[in-house]
Amino acid sequence: MPSGAVLAFLLNLLSAFVALLTSYYAYRTNRLVRNPVLGAISFGFTLLGIGLLVDAGTSLFTGHLVVESYADRVFVLLATFTYLTIQMVSYLVIAWGYARVAYRGEARGFVPAALVGSAAISLYGYTILSYFVALILIGFVVFQGFLLRSGEKSRFSGTVMLAFVLILVAHLVFLGSVLALGSSYAGGIFLVGIGVQFLGFISLLVFVVRSEVVGPR
């Protein structure tokens, strides 16, 4: 199996672990605090963790990094489609949570508007569309997080902002790798994206650990 696929598997597996850990802490905090954004973060990161596990499993199963080599395999097509859909929905859920707080319950039209045009004509088209939609949604989360942070600055919010910015950059790289399909360096670009995304999840892990070891007032 190519070493790139093994690396992608490991990084996605660790990212999935951090996503599920973040989801658990958001769930636990939401039981005490009752905040719709936390509910959305908990559910969104659960979906993201599951999606990353699916993607890690696909990398391991096929030994390949990018979508182009999957085309003739029904299983991989389904797995890739599942991962991309879960990823898109997970960021949609998180962005919707932020939208609810930012626009005070006026975000009902946000979900259908974000999903318009997401019907898959081909896996390639669907991949581009899903990464593009994910980019917009993560960009929205970063923007809202930045606005909220300016009102409630804490020593923890910078780490979370860094995580979302890194995940945003990773999705730009993913989109670039899909657009570069067919070239010899598409797999390399995709692996860079996975690496940047992993750094984003490491940043989230640092935040979760720091929030747990915070001392008395």
Partner 1 sequence: MAQGEKQRSVLRINLDILNAVKDEGDAKPTHILYKANLSHERLVKYLDDLTAKGLIEVKQDGEARTYSITPKGVGFLIEMRHAEAFIQGFGLAI
Binding residues vs partner 1 (CB under 8 A): 25-26, 28-29, 32-35, 37-38, 41, 101, 144-149, 151-152, 154, 156-157, 159-160, 207-208, 210-212, 214, 216-217
**Smallest distance from partner 1 to CB 169, Å:** 19
- Shortest Å distance, C-beta 148 to partner 1: 3
> CA dist 45 to 15, 19, 20, 52, 79, Å?
11, 5, 6, 10, 19
Q: How far is the CB of 76 from partner 1 (least distance, A)?
A: 35
Q: Which residue type, as a one-letter code, is found at position 43?
A: F
Taking the C-alpha atoms of residue 71 and residue 67, their distance in angstroms, rounded to an integer, is 7
Burial of 182 (0-12, 13-18, 19+ CB in 10 A): exposed
Phi, psi of 185 (to 5 degrees): -100, 5
Report the residue number, 139 or 176, with the smaller CB distance to partner 1.
139
Minimum separation from the CB atom of position 10 to partner 1 (A): 26
